[in-house]
Amino acid sequence: MATTYTLLSNVTVGSGGAANITFSSIPQTYTDLLIKLSIRQDKPDGYSDIYMKINSSSSNFTIRVLNAVGSSSSSYSSSVGIVGNALGTTSSGGTSSFSNTEIYIPNYTSSNYKSYSSDSVVERNITAWNPIDMIAGLWSNTSAITSLLFESPGYNIEQYSIACLYGISNA
Partner 1 sequence: MTTPTKIVVDCSTGQETILPLTAEEIAQREADAAAFAEQRAAEEAAAEAKAALKASAKAKLIAGTPLTEEEADALVL
Strands 132-139 and 61-69: antiparallel
Give burial (CB, 10 Å; 0-12/13-18/19+) of 26: buried
Tell me how far the alpha carbon of residue 106 is from its chain's centroid: 15
Q: Which of residues 17-76 bind partner 1 (CB under 8 A)?
A: 17-27, 49, 51, 58, 74, 76
- At closest approach, how far in Å is the CB of 26 from partner 1? 5
- 2 lines the binding site for partner 1 (CB under 8 A): no
CB of 125 or CB of 140, closer to partner 1: 140
Strands 82-88 and 4-12: unpaired
Distance of alpha carbon 170 from alpha carbon 30, whole angstroms: 8
Distance of alpha carbon 137 from alpha carbon 64, whole angstroms: 6
- 136 lines the binding site for partner 1 (CB under 8 A): no
CB of 116 or CB of 150, closer to partner 1: 150
- 8 lines the binding site for partner 1 (CB under 8 A): yes
CB of 11 or CB of 93, closer to partner 1: 11
CB of 22 or CB of 117, closer to partner 1: 22
Distance of alpha carbon 148 from alpha carbon 23, whole angstroms: 5
- At closest approach, how far in Å is the CB of 93 from partner 1? 25
Q: Which residues bind partner 1 (CB under 8 A)?
A: 8-9, 11, 13-14, 16-27, 49, 51, 58, 74, 76-80, 151, 153-154, 156, 165
